[in-house]
């Protein structure tokens, strides 16, 4: 008689980017730690250049408990975790780093807590008695503590380590929250807590963050921006998308760039006014495009040939915006509206147009993520 293959009790989601050297050891350690519990490992790899996905697939070929999701053309720790979790049918889900810095022997303890049913989520914490941040330097430690404090204040999350990338949650609880997640950046746990209403019932287990043996960290300056984006998303995201805020701020800085360039060209270098104005416009446009590519659309950043194509489309879209701007402003002005208000209305219309058009045509961001 056929027996149905059983579903594991827990899926452990491992986001990876350039972790080829670590995955085999990770599978070995998890297998050793999880004796007596049925489990599977789901690696979610963002097409790492070092070929992590191939290595995982090779392991999966001889071990059915290992799976690989390979994402093309996308980056992001949080979104990788979310997709991995959505692909699971297990009762419990865990998220753990793929670089051996998280202590896998916590996993059975997490399962134990969830089985008892008095917590929806179990979080491994570095900031409680018995935990620690390993060999982090003072700067990284300070940064982590500062953002932890900010997260507690702004989002009213009572966790000792809301930035932890190591936790386990009931699948049904996760599924209930998934549609509300922002999915931006690194802070998947914070995202879950900030999205939950009523608040999640949690338990914390302290652990010592290990030092990295192979590969390198991907948490860089951009992580701070991701963090800011998430705070914005949770506080004002219902009214304005954080991306639109960045787009406007960059647009504003473009005005300053324009005026400085104009001044340099017209006043200092003595070039004619019309030519200077044209040069300033070009410089401001390229500047705006570059900054939006690095900041606003960092998760779909264009490079190589696509960068030039994007620049062309960006300038094209903004030219249409400029025509609309002048059109709307002149129309209102001729109808008797105060000149300042006419101008502002023109600027508003062109800004919204530029934002929507460039999101769609230049960075090709799908509707829901805008």
Residue 191's binding partner out of ligand GDD, Mn ion, none, with CB under 5 to 8 Å set by partner kind: none
Interface map 295-334 toward ligand GDD (x if CB under 6 A)? ----------------------------------------
Nearer to Mn ion, 92 or 209 (CB): 209
Of the candidate residues 9, 54, 60, 75, the single one contacting ligand GDD (CB under 6 A): 75
C-alpha–C-alpha distance, residues 101 and 79, integer Å: 20
Per CB under 6 A, 76 contacts ligand GDD: yes
User: How would you classify residue 266: left for phi > 0, otherwise alpha for psi between -120 and 50, otherwise beta?
Assistant: alpha
Only segment of 93-101, 199-207, 268-276, 318-326 that touches Mn ion (CB under 5 A): 93-101
In the complex, least distance from residue 19 CB atom to Mn ion, rounded to whole angstroms: 9
Shorter beta-carbon distance to ligand GDD: residue 200 or 283: 200
Among 40, 99, 104, 120, binds Mn ion (CB under 5 A): 99
CB of 224 to ligand GDD, least distance (A): 11
Per-residue b or e along 284-298, where b marks 16 or more CB atoms closer than 10 Å to that residue's CB: bbebbbebbbebbbb
Please say which residue, 233 or 354, places its beta carbon nearer to ligand GDD: 233
Stretch that binds ligand GDD, among 71-79, 267-275, 319-327, 357-365 (CB under 6 A): 71-79
Residues 40, 42, 45, 285: which binds ligand GDD (CB under 6 A)?
A: 45
- Distance, in Å, from the CA atom of 43 to the CA atom of 9, rounded to the nearest integer, reads 17
CB of 99 to Mn ion, least distance (A): 4
Binding status of residue 186 toward ligand GDD by CB under 6 A: yes
What is the maximal distance between C-alpha atoms in the chain?
90
Q: Should residue 22 be labelled a site residue for Mn ion when binding is judged by CB under 5 A?
A: no
What tokens were used for 286? Answer: 């390229």
Q: Is residue 85 a contact point for ligand GDD (CB under 6 A)?
A: no
Contacts of 80 (CB under 8 A, 6+ apart): 15, 44, 45, 46, 71
18 sits near Mn ion (criterion: CB under 5 A): no
Query: Six-digit token pair at 218?
Result: 């991907």
For tokens 């509206």, the residue is 337
| Residue in 11, 12, 19, 318 binding ligand GDD, rule: CB under 6 A | 19
Asked if residues 15 and 97 have their Cβ atoms less than 8 Å apart, the reply is yes
And the tokens for 39?
Answer: 């489990």
Number of residues counted as binding ligand GDD (CB under 6 A) = 22
Please, which residue, 99 or 226, has the CB nearer to Mn ion?
99
Q: Which residues contact 336 (CB under 8 A, 6 or more apart)?
A: none
Near ligand GDD by CB under 6 A: residue from 30, 65, 67, 97:
97
Measured distance CA(319)–CA(325) in Å, rounded: 10
Give the Cα separation of 13 and 68 in Å (integer).
Answer: 10
Region for 304 from its dihedrals, namely left if φ exceeds 0, alpha if ψ lies in -120 to 50, beta otherwise? left
CA angle in degrees (0–180, nearest 5) for 303-255-297? 30
The values of phi and psi at residue 187, to 5°, are -95, 60
Handedness of CA 243, 244, 249, 253 (dihedral sign): positive
Q: Kindly tell me which residue out of 11, 48, 52, 101 binds Mn ion, with binding defined by CB under 5 A.
A: 101
Shortest Å distance, C-beta 186 to ligand GDD: 4
Which residue's CB is nearer to ligand GDD, number 219 or number 343? 219
- Provide the binding-site residues for ligand GDD, judged by CB under 6 A: 15-17, 19, 44-46, 75-77, 80, 97-99, 101, 144, 163, 165, 186, 217-219
């Amino acid at each position: 008689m056929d027996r149905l293959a059983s579903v594991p009790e827990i899926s452990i989601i491992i986001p990876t980017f350039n972790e080829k050297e670590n995955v085999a050891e990770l599978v070995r350690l998890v297998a050793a730690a999880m004796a007596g519990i049925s489990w599977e490992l789901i690696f979610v790899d963002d097409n790492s250049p070092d070929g992590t996905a191939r290595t995982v697939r090779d392991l999966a070929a001889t071990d059915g408990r290992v799976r690989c999701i390979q994402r093309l053309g996308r980056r992001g720790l949080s979104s990788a975790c979310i997709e991995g979790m959505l692909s699971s049918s297990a009762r419990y889900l865990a998220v753990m780093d793929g670089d051996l810095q998280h202590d896998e022997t916590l996993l059975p303890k997490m399962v134990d807590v969830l089985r008892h049913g008095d917590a929806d989520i179990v979080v491994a914490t570095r900031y409680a008695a018995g935990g620690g941040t390993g060999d982090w330097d003072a700067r990284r430690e300070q940064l982590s503590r500062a953002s932890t404090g900010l997260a507690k204040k702004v989002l009213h999350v009572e966790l000792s380590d809301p930035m932890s990338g190591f936790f386990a949650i009931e699948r049904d609880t996760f599924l209930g929250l998934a549609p509300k997640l922002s999915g931006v950046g690194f802070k998947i746990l914070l995202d879950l807590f900030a999205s939950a209403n009523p608040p999640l019932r949690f338990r914390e287990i302290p652990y010592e963050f290990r030092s990295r043996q192979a590969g390198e960290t991907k948490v860089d300056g951009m992580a701070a921006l991701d963090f800011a984006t998430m705070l914005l998303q949770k506080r004002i995201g219902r009214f304005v998308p954080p991306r639109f805020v960045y787009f406007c701020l960059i647009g504003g800085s473009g005005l300053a760039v324009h005026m400085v360039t104009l001044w340099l060209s017209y006043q200092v270098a003595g070039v004619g006014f019309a030519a200077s104005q044209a040069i300033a416009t070009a410089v401001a446009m390229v500047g705006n495009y570059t900054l939006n590519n690095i900041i606003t659309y960092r998760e779909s950043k264009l490079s190589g040939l696509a960068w030039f194509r994007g620049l062309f489309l960006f300038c094209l879209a903004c030219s249409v915006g400029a025509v609309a701007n002048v059109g709307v402003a002149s129309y209102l002005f001729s109808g008797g509206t105060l000149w300042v208000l006419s101008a502002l209305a023109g600027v508003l219309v062109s800004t919204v147009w530029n934002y929507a058009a460039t999101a769609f045509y230049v960075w090709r961001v799908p509707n829901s993520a805008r």
